Amino acid sequence: MSNLFQSIARPFIASQRPYQPGRPLEEVARQLGKADIAGIIKLASNENALGPSPKAQEAMKAAIPRMHLYPDGGSFYLRRAIAAKYGISPEMVMLGCGCNEHAVLLAHAFLAKGTNLVFSERSFVVYQLVAELYECTAKRVPMADGVTTDLDGILAAIDGNTRIVVVGNPNNPTGTMVSQEAVDAFVEKVPANVVTVFDEAYMELVEPEEQVDTVKHVLAGKKPVVVLRTFSKAYGLAGLRCGYAIAQPDGIDLLNKVRQPFNVNAMAQAACIAALDDQEHLAKTRAMLREGAAFLLDGIRKLGLAPQPTKTNFIFVPFKRAKELAAAMERHDVIIRPLAGFGLPEHVRIGIGTPAENRQCLAALAASLAELG
């Protein structure tokens, strides 16, 4: 590679590693020498195998003739719909190009050299990447039993330079959760000069009686709490890139200052308003996941592996030769996620699909394990 730019760039940017997403279907089809993606399934990015909500699909079709216009930069109607869902004011909601954008905006607003960001060791790799992007120290806290967020450990890691703590709940990639009681006690103890971010990208996929309410801590207004949710997972709209943050208006105000003017496109705004209303799709999604999790966990165990029980739409599986396993699965038309990019070279993450996809996945897993010997 030429070196026209690297030596001019700020050194901490030049040494950044880019995020490695799940491999796209088209890329794997090209590698396998196939004309198209038919027959290949992707269980690598925790998407919703049921597809987009039908109501969202209708709304998108209806929005097509208006695509020559810029979107509403303030996402007025979508913010109003989200606010109504939670019984909060629209001033407490800010839309982003997926929650990934919120992670960067929060870092932009609060992190700098000399500060630190605290989060769990085995959690979403984007927290680490944004810390590096802002020359901020990433303090990674070991997990209680190797898979569950240790909230006391996070509290103990907070020091005078901590600006943000992030709790992924449910946690990606381990699929575990911390309870309402534990979260409530945690919020009480986090110092008021530290922003607490609850990344709840997967919360709507959890059975309703087990879901954790953190919006009440935002509403209480005693601590700087931010709740992140997304349309990528439960609502099946990952391709549109839309997520939201809930915080007290002064926090939302800060985030609005650091975002781009049209960060959420008009198609996404139309679809997400309709998707929020589609309780039927959400219920079907949860039912598919409940059955799929039981089927896959059982099948994976029968193949001699030790998968982690999950609260959401993916399964964390320890396997020493993770990269080789993922490559073998691709040769059998199933894309899963090796977790080296998350700093976990001996684990894979397998998304829960439709019943047919889950059967295809188990057959591919059996064949791949046999090949690896």
Ligand X SMILES: Cc1ncc(COP(=O)(O)O)c(C=O)c1O
Asked if residue 149 lies in contact with residue 173, where contact means CB atoms within 8 angstroms, the answer is: no
Q: Which tokens hold the place of 233?
A: 């997972």
Cβ closest to ligand X, residue 230 vs residue 263: 230
Question: Smaller CB distance to ligand X: residue 86 or 244?
Answer: 244
Smallest distance, ligand X to C-beta of residue 241, A = 6
269 in contact with ligand X (CB under 6 A): no
In 3D space, the residue among 357, 266, 241 whose CA is nearest the CA of residue 74 turns out to be: 266
CA dihedral angle for residue 367, residue 37, residue 339, residue 212, rounded to 10 degrees: -110
Single out the residue of 25, 41, 94, 99 in contact with ligand X (rule: CB under 6 A): 99
Whether the Cβ atoms of residue 98 and residue 242 lie closer than 8 Å to each other: yes
CB closer to ligand X, 328 vs 350: 350
The one-letter code for the residue type at 253 is D
Shortest reach from residue 7's CB to ligand X, in Å: 32
Instruction: Compute the distance between CA of residue 211 and CA of residue 200 in angstroms, rounded to an integer.
Output: 10
Residue 242 C-beta: closest distance to ligand X, Å: 7
Around Cβ 181, how many Cβ atoms within 10 Å?
Answer: 9
Interface residue with ligand X among 32, 50, 238, 266 (CB under 6 A) is 238
Stretch that binds ligand X, among 50-58, 97-105, 141-149, 323-331 (CB under 6 A): 97-105
Segment interacting with ligand X, rule: CB under 6 A, options 55-63, 77-85, 230-238, 268-276: 230-238
The footprint of ligand X on this chain (CB under 6 A) covers a number of residues equal to 13
Q: Which stretch binds ligand X (CB under 6 A): 52-60, 93-101, 177-185, 299-307?
A: 93-101
- Give, as ranges, the residues between 140 and 179 that touch ligand X (CB under 6 A): 168, 172
Cα–Cα distances in angstroms (integers) from residue 116 to residues 15, 70, 188, in the given order: 19, 37, 20
CB of 112 to ligand X, least distance (A): 23
**Are residues 244 and 94 in contact, defined by beta-carbon separation less than 8 angstroms?**
yes
* Nearer Cβ to ligand X (282/362): 282
Cβ 228 to ligand X shortest distance, Å: 7
* Binder among 201, 247, 268, 297 for ligand X (CB under 6 A): 201
Tell which positions 10-49 bind ligand X, by CB under 6 A.
46
299 contacts ligand X (rule: CB under 6 A): no
The 3-class SS string of 51-79 reads CCCHHHHHHHHHHHHHCCCCCCCCCHHHH
Say which DSSP state 158 is in: -
Gap between the Cα atoms of 204 and 170, Å rounded: 10
Of 78, 93, 199, 263, the one binding ligand X by CB under 6 A = 199
Binders of ligand X among residues 104 to 133 (CB under 6 A) are: 124
| Strands annotated E in the chain | 41-42, 93-96, 116-120, 137-141, 162-168, 195-199, 225-230, 243-246, 314-318, 334-335, 337-338, 347-351
- Beta pairing, strands 314-318 & 334-335: unpaired
Looking at beta carbons, which residue is closest to ligand X? Answer: 98
Diameter of the chain by CA atoms?
A: 58
* Residue number with CB closer to ligand X (251 or 299): 251
Residue 372 CB, shortest distance to ligand X, in Å, is 27
Could you tell me the smallest distance in angstroms from the CB atom of residue 43 to ligand X? 13
Amino acid letter, residue 50: L
Choose, by CB under 6 A, the member of 243, 299, 307, 351 that binds ligand X. Answer: 243
- Min dist CB 33 to ligand X, Å, is 29
Interface contacts to ligand X, rule CB under 6 A: 46, 98-100, 124, 168, 172, 199, 201, 230, 232, 238, 243
